[in-house]
């Protein structure tokens, strides 16, 4: 079994390079709190704008007979109040994605660099930085282009964000986003190689038997450890710990330091190990 090889090798690199692990955890910690703060700051006005948009949609929906519900998008696109509120909502969404992109590019660079250093001792930072920034820009453009195509396919050219989408179109878009995530992770893992961009797709398809299981395991790890801090923010008040108190903050920090940051650091090393494992698989 492929995972029986990649997981032990990743764990060995993870545990034998504690110096790089500490640096990785530090940057992971800063990145996580930067994203958490950005999300918390933008989330409130975004949800307020979304609720206003949703209210108008519901009002227009009530006016339509059941046989004409498919006309909802055409109707609301003629509603000036809706378009005005929607522009505010859309602006917050764009602003949020730009901030997340900038934070990811800045802080993920040292994270991937230290992860590679845990396995490959010769890693010139300048070359790594240049490749990483270009790859981040490329995948951000691919993501945005995919979303625009999705919007056009659902007929949401005016609102950009699809208001009504068929289950098939939504499922297709989810699959495309997962594919983008899959190949982007391979590209970051291949940064030390020559012709990183070309090899990304060759390795991702040709050696999927080795890389895909590691990607799935990493996705599960990422989902679990990312959800832990957010779950804590909702669980804490229920057990009598109010957000903002010293106890709340200390426990939140403990969750991130001892679970989230190490787990994400291991997942990156595992992806690198699985990607380069192809030569012996």
- State how far the Cα of 8 lies from the Cα of 17, in Å rounded to an integer: 14
DSSP output for 150-178: HHHHTT-TTTSS-SS--HHHHHHHHHHHH
Domain of 255 in residue numbering reads as 3-280
Angle at 137 between CA 270 and CA 166, to 5 degrees: 85
8 A C-beta contact, residue 214 and residue 189: no
What's the total number of domains in the chain? 1
Range in 136-145, 180-189, 213-222, 255-264 the model is least confident about? 255-264
Q: Which of 78-82, 260-264, 270-274 is the most confident on average?
A: 270-274
What's residue 197's pLDDT? 80
- State how far the Cα of 10 lies from the Cα of 270, in Å rounded to an integer: 5
8 A C-beta contact, residue 272 and residue 119: yes
Among residues 208, 186, 209, which one has the least CA distance to residue 268? 186
**Tokens describing residue 68:** 């004409």
What's residue 151's pLDDT? 72
Instruction: Name the percent of the chain lying above pLDDT 70.
Output: 87
55-101, pLDDT tens digit by residue?
877 776 677 666 555 566 666 767 777 778 788 888 888 888 888 88
3-19, pLDDT tens digit by residue?
888 899 888 888 887 77
Is pLDDT of 272 > 60?
A: yes
- State how far the Cα of 39 lies from the Cα of 37, in Å rounded to an integer: 5
* Three-state secondary structure call for residue 2: coil
Is pLDDT of 123 > 70?
A: yes
Read off the pLDDT band of 281 (50, 70, 90): very low
**Per-residue pLDDT averaged across 134-160, rounded?**
78
- State how far the Cα of 265 lies from the Cα of 222, in Å rounded to an integer: 10
What's residue 273's pLDDT? 92
């Amino acid at each position: 079994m492929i995972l029986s090889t990649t997981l032990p090798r990743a764990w060995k690199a993870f545990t034998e390079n504690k110096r790089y692990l500490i640096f990785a955890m530090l940057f992971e910690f800063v990145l996580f709190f930067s994203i958490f703060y950005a999300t918390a700051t933008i989330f409130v006005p975004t949800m307020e704008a979304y609720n206003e948009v949703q209210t108008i949609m519901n009002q227009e929906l009530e006016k339509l007979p059941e046989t004409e519900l498919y006309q909802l998008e055409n109707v609301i696109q003629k509603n000036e109040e809706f378009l005005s509120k929607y522009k505010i909502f859309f602006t917050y969404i764009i602003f949020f994605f730009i901030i997340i992109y900038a934070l990811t590019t800045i802080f993920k660079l040292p994270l991937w660099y230290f992860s590679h250093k845990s396995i490959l001792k010769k890693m010139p930072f300048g070359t790594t930085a240049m490749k990483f920034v270009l790859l981040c820009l490329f995948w951000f453009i691919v993501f945005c282009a995919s979303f625009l195509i999705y919007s056009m396919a659902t007929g949401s050219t005016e609102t950009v964000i699809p208001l009504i989408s068929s289950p098939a179109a939504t499922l297709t878009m989810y699959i495309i986003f997962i594919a983008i995530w899959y190949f982007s992770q391979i590209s970051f893992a291949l940064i030390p190689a020559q012709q990183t961009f070309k090899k990304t797709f060759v390795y991702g398809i040709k050696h999927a038997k080795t890389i895909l299981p590691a990607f799935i395991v990493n996705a599960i790890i990422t989902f679990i450890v990312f959800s832990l801090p957010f779950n804590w923010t909702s669980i804490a008040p229920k057990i009598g710990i109010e957000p903002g108190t010293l106890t709340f903050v200390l426990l939140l920090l403990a969750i991130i330091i001892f679970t989230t940051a190490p787990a994400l650091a291991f997942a990156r090393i595992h992806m690198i190990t699985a990607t380069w494992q192809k030569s012996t698989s």
